[in-house]
Each structure stands twice: as structure tokens, then as C-alpha cells.
Amino acid sequence: MKRFTSEKVVYRFSKDDPPIAHVAPGEIFSAATLDARSGQIKTVEDIHVYRRDPERANPVTGPFYVDGVEPGDTLAVEILDVQVAPSGAGTATGGVLARRLGKRDCVIFKIQDGSAEYNERIRIPLRPMVGTIGVAPAGKSIGSFYPGPHGGNMDLNFVRNGATVYLPVCVQGALLAFGDLHASMGDGELTGGGIDASGEVTLRTSFVKGKRRARPWIETPQSWITCSNAPTLEEAIEIATNDMVDMVSETVGIPWEHAYILIGACADARIGQAARCGIDVTLGLSFPKVALQ
């Protein structure tokens, strides 16, 4: 299995960035990544000098050129394993309570035995996930701090072991990149972070020829998830619901009005990121496969 270090990171998704490697469909490979703050927060004192630069946030390892993939295809990225470093940082620098926050603060969590340790009594169960994953857009570059139809900083807890992320391909080879791992992150990423940690992702790619949707979607063993981003939560919900109606209607062969009714009965809307940090709200709408069996 090929392994790649985190020395080759970029801070954007761009057709102009040369690939660090070619990978074949079906090939398993792994890549180390940095956390969203480029590994700058290692001690409590570091938080007092750190300043987020949107143009240098969320480094992603890559891009990787997937052989045979062309514009108009869908790239499928299967997340096989997410491993995080033995420590991670939880920070309070902004988020939804930024106006209440009197000072910056952080906690360095010790990560071991399936949990992140705050102290001897309080331990957060690990649920490692990939916060940022995407492909190059056909037009101008998009910073890896931002979400969009290319993927990017979606911050959805669905992107974890066992999930497959489907991304619309706009350029030759797709130019896949990923990073921004969390050892654990609550839905909504309300503080602007979770327990941010560097780590390593193992994955496998494939593609669907000549077929793509306008936005990313995710499949887990239990669910289909449509993904959206928009300036407001209401807009994001509308986009994800519209996409899910089309997916269910097309897949099962029922009128879209009936698909809409099914979604109202059993689909769950989960916020990815709503931290008021200058980017769109992100959302995943999950529809259980068991409803269609």
C-alpha cells in the first residue's frame, strides 16, 4: 500500500496545482494530514498567539490524480480508516458564543484507548472523521477553508470509517485532497472546532462514468446523505431536501411528491458547521436505507 506524508499540503482546491501522485481506481492508499490549524496548537500557551488566516486554514494533503477519471464523472472515495494522533486540541476562539467569550482558551486532550481525556474523570469517546475532502473545481481556485459543490470544508460527521463520499468531477483526474481531521466533533461545530488532531486516512477510490450530481453526497451502510451549503440554515435545508427527493424518486421509481412524504417521515437533517466563522452553513440530510427494503 502506498503511504504519503503530510509534507505535501495545499490550502486550496485548484486545477492549477500539480498532483503529488497518481492513484489507480481500486487502489488502497493512505496519507498523513495536519489538523485545521496546521499543527500550530500543541500547548495551552499556543492559543494566545495563534490567529486563523482563512487563506492558510484547513491544510489538505494532495492533490491526488485518479487515473481514468474525467469531467462529468463521479468520484467515489471510500473511507477505510481514520487514525488520529495521540493528542488533539479543543479551542475556544470564536464560534456561536464569540461575543460572550472573554478570552481565548484551549484544552490539550490526551488521546488513547478509544477516548480523548480531559481529566481523570471526563473522557470523550472518539469518533474520528474527515472534516475537509474535495476535488478541484473547473473555474477559479477555492480555499480549503470553504465548502462548495466541489466538497471542501463540509465538516460532516458522516465522513468516517465505512462511508463513501461521492464528488462531482470537473477536471481531468479529479485532483482529490483531504484533511482537517477531528478526533471528535459535535454536529454543528459550534465553537469553530472539535478536538482537532493530525492523523492518517486510508482510502480507496473508484468512479461512476458519465454520471454526476451537482453536489457531493455520502453513502454509509445505513443511509444515503445529501450534502449542502448555503449562507443560511433554511437555504441549506432546502437544497439538501430537494436533492434527496430527486435521489429517492429516481432510485425507487416513485413520484417526487411521494418521495417528499417519505423524507418527511424518516429523514434526519444534521448540521455540519454553523459556527459563524465567515463561511456557509453546511448540512447533511440522512435517509435510512431500511425504509426502502
Q: How far is CA 126 from CA 91, 113, 155, 224, in A?
A: 17, 9, 16, 23
- The residues near 230 (Cβ < 8 Å, ≥ 6 apart) are 236, 238, 239, 280, 281
Under-70 pLDDT residues of the chain: none
- The angle formed by the CA atoms of residues 233, 236 and 239, to the nearest 5 degrees, is 150
pLDDT on residue 57? 87
Asked if residues 20 and 3 have their Cβ atoms less than 8 Å apart, the reply is: no
Query: Where is 33: in which H helix or E strand?
Result: strand 28-33
Distance CA 226, CA 96 (A): 25
pLDDT on residue 132? 98
pLDDT on residue 244? 98
pLDDT on residue 197? 96
pLDDT in tens, 123-168: 999 999 999 999 999 999 999 999 999 999 999 999 999 999 999 9
Beta bridge partners of 179: 60, 132
pLDDT on residue 227? 98
**Cell 445505513 maps to which residue?**
222
Architecture of domain 2-209: Sandwich (2.60)
One-letter amino acid at 156 equals: L
Task: Please give the DSSP secondary-structure letter assigned to residue 121.
Answer: S
pLDDT on residue 8? 87
C-alpha cell at 286: 440522512
Domain ranges of the chain: 2-209
